Amino acid sequence: MDVYKVLDDLKKRAAGVDPKTNKMPEGYFVSFRPIGLPIAPEDFENPWSPFGSELLGATETAAAESAKINPPATSSTAMPSSAPPQVSMNQLIAAGVGQSEKNYYNTFWLTNDKLTMDEKWTVMPDAGTVDSAWFAIINGAQEVTSDMVLNSDLQKSIAAAKAVLVDPKTGNPTPHYNAYLYYQQKYFDAQQNLNGQYANAIEDPNQFAMWPINGKIPQEKVNSALESWAGLGYKSEIETALDTLNAQGMDPAIALINRAKLAYENALGEMANIGTIPYTFIEPSTFYDAYEQDGWTKYYQDSSTVSETTSSSSSSESGFAGISVGFFSIGADASHSQSQSDLHIDTSSMQISFDFCSADIRRPWLDTNLLDLNNWFLLNNAKNCISDGTFNQQLQHANNVTTFLPSIVTSLIFVRNLKIKWAMTTLQKHTFQEATSGGGMVGIGPFFCGGSGSSTDSNSSYQSTFNDEGIEVAGVQLIGYVSVITPASPRLDSKDYMVKASDQASSGNTTNTNTNTTTANSTTTATQPAMSGVPQ
């Protein structure tokens, strides 16, 4: 057994590999970080949400802090003149809400990177973010209408349904439709009367006790009104006509582009001095908690004998540098760093155990169904500029076409209570202690095992236990990502539907020459006739 076989097993579990075929789900891939990212609870607990759920946590925290800062005065002790000013509960609650907003921002950024398509985690350089890419896609999407129309039989059935509701000659509601509306209102009035009487009855125990007797009359009025609506209000005829008209379809591309824009706008929240970001959350919401049981699964493997001899090197021109040393990774924070190291590892009776959680990312503002449709393009961009649908695509295609969103991270893989045990030699123990004391990050595979690792916004260090049996790390850490490859899209090239403005102007034509295109924002409205009156 080695740690990379453990990762292969963990990858299958996190991605939901079919145990019968042992194959990954189609269109998914898993990537692991060089060294895990420790998750400090104080950076992620009680995040802001549009539902206001964070206010309860902020209030409870404020009450506890107030008791510490503002101890109750006693008659026997006078407050010294140099005592600090009292802090109001509102100030403490506001501070708690501010921390909740900051924690939501931290959570959002765990989900928003675009990753390279590789089993080794790497953020796409200069690739932007998922939310920015989606904003560009939905605002650049252009639907292409079909030149097909409904056949004559369908057109006749739609015209007949309209004629049931509105007189084709006058444009006024038909007598049957007026009767329908009249008896419909009678039914609504009777139902409202029944509901009101029942609401009054339940407030008075005596009336409520008599409701089985007194409630018969208002209920009978409801039943009678419904019968009149069905018998005299042409209920079946009118509702069949309405259902026929409501069943008329619209182009899915128009519907989904408009819906995607609305969903994105509705999901935006303003973060002070940062700007608007779309609401995104992780399930389970307590992924950062080292003690929560929901969503966590225990994992254990051991081996009687493991022998490895490795020699490796790595270099980095900027950012984080990882040095693979056998099972070990030693991280350096300095840019432009290069290092090499050899280490011979002989482990026996190795045991690896931890809890793991595959947490799903929820983005209410991102519906990729649009990418599966055929009849739209991205303004001023080529076919497949969002994705070509393959695992091997890069950020830049061979013809230098930028891919906007080739994949999306859908789940995060967390582990906690990590224990890696083997007969650690003095040299190995010294290597770990030297690396961690020097401010580096030490890992085994992608597992963070010690050093100055901290989350994006916290200075909290994770303390690891080193002994002759191995290493133990108690906290939660992010080690991997499950990503979905977006389908090949768009499937049309903009150059086939667009002309240069100069060419159009020189031809004297001020309108778009491509009559088979329409904007996704176009809507059709009609004057609604007054629906009032009584049956004729």
**Position with higher pLDDT, 26 vs 171:** 171
Least confident of 270-274, 385-389, 467-471: 467-471
**Position with higher pLDDT, 398 vs 174:** 174
In this prediction, residue 126 has a pLDDT band, given cuts at 50, 70 and 90, of: low
Mean pLDDT of all residues in 46-68: 87
In this prediction, residue 74 has a pLDDT band, given cuts at 50, 70 and 90, of: low
Name 421's bridge partners: 351, 470
Residue with tokens 């007194």: 214
Following CA atoms 33, 38, 42, 43 in sequence, which dihedral angle do they give, to the nearest 10 degrees?
A: -30
C-alpha angle with apex 261: 257 to 262, nearest 5 degrees? 120
Give the containing element (helix H, strand E) for 283: strand 281-283
In tens, the pLDDT along 315-373 reads 333 333 333 344 555 554 433 333 334 344 555 567 889 999 999 999 999 999 999 99
Asked if pLDDT for residue 409 goes beyond 90, the answer is yes
Asked if pLDDT for residue 10 goes beyond 90, the answer is no
**pLDDT given at position 163:** 96
Asked if pLDDT for residue 16 goes beyond 50, the answer is yes
DSSP 95-117: HHHHHHHHHHHHHHHHH-BPBPS
Most confident among 137-141, 302-306, 320-324 (mean pLDDT): 137-141
Share of the chain above pLDDT 70, in %: 75
Mean pLDDT of all residues in 369-395: 88
Mean pLDDT of all residues in 526-534: 42
Distance CA 204, CA 201 (A): 5
**pLDDT given at position 82:** 55
Share of the chain above pLDDT 90, in %: 46
Asked if pLDDT for residue 80 goes beyond 80, the answer is no
Distance CA 277, CA 179 (A): 50
Least confident of 77-86, 259-268, 345-354: 77-86
In tens, the pLDDT along 427-485 reads 777 777 777 676 667 777 788 887 765 444 344 445 677 766 778 888 999 999 999 99
Distance CA 450, CA 442 (A): 5
Name 408's bridge partners: 484
Question: Structure pTM?
Answer: 0.75
Distance CA 500, CA 514 (A): 12
Do 492 and 144 touch, CB atoms closer than 8 A?
yes
Give the containing element (helix H, strand E) for 14: helix 3-15
Q: Compute the mean pLDDT over every residue in the chain, rounded to the nearest whole number.
A: 79
Most confident among 274-283, 285-294, 384-393 (mean pLDDT): 274-283
- Backbone angles phi and psi of 290, in degrees to 5: -75, -5
**pLDDT given at position 439:** 60
**Position with higher pLDDT, 16 vs 346:** 16
In this prediction, residue 15 has a pLDDT band, given cuts at 50, 70 and 90, of: confident
Work out the end-to-end distance of the chain between its first and last CA atoms, rounded to an integer number of angstroms. Answer: 86
Domain coordinates in residue numbering, the chain: 3-40+280-485, 50-73+86-102, 152-250
Distance CA 391, CA 194 (A): 62
**pLDDT given at position 328:** 56
Most confident among 43-47, 290-294, 339-343 (mean pLDDT): 43-47
Distance CA 122, CA 318 (A): 13
Distance CA 532, CA 127 (A): 58
Do 221 and 193 touch, CB atoms closer than 8 A?
yes
Least confident of 129-133, 210-214, 223-227, 314-318: 314-318
Q: Give the SS3 label for residue 468.
A: coil
**pLDDT given at position 525:** 39
Mean pLDDT of all residues in 266-286: 93
Mean pLDDT of all residues in 191-207: 96
Q: Which two tokens stand for residue 27?
A: 């269109």
Helices (H) and strands (E) in the chain, counts: 13, 18
Most confident among 48-62, 274-288, 429-443 (mean pLDDT): 274-288
**pLDDT given at position 523:** 40
In tens, the pLDDT along 484-512 reads 999 999 999 999 998 887 777 776 654 44
Do 353 and 298 touch, CB atoms closer than 8 A?
yes
Distance CA 400, CA 244 (A): 49
In tens, the pLDDT along 155-185 reads 999 999 999 999 999 999 999 999 999 999 9
**Position with higher pLDDT, 2 vs 417:** 417
Mean pLDDT of all residues in 174-199: 97
**pLDDT given at position 143:** 93
**Position with higher pLDDT, 145 vs 489:** 489
Following CA atoms 415, 416, 420, 424 in sequence, which dihedral angle do they give, to the nearest 10 degrees?
A: 120
Asked if pLDDT for residue 40 goes beyond 70, the answer is yes
**pLDDT given at position 474:** 86
Asked if pLDDT for residue 294 goes beyond 50, the answer is yes
